[in-house]
Amino acid sequence: MIRDGKMSTEIRRKVTFERIQSEADTDATLEEFVLVDASGRIQIPQDYLDQIKIGERARVQIEDGTVTLRPEE
């Protein structure tokens, strides 16, 4: 997906040799990735930020290899 003239996300289809049983199964084979630019920045889709109520600032925490983003309290 291109936002602000730059690539921000990419969607990849998982290729398997299992037969797809229904149309709903095709959605499960897609994975969305956020691209990291040369400066280490990512662009999080606005609807994601809205869902977790992130405004101008967010708290970032790294734990067990996972980055967590939370609203400012």
Residues paired with residue 9 on neighbouring β-strands, in sequence order: 34
pLDDT at 43: 87
- What torsion do the CA atoms of 62, 45, 29, 35 make, to the nearest 10 degrees? -60
Q: Which residues pair with 2 in a beta bridge?
A: 7
Q: What pLDDT is recorded for position 68? A: 94
**Is the whole model's pTM more than 0.85, yes or no?**
no
**pLDDT one-digit tens code per residue, 12-71:** 666 555 565 655 555 557 777 888 888 888 888 889 999 999 999 999 999 999 999 999
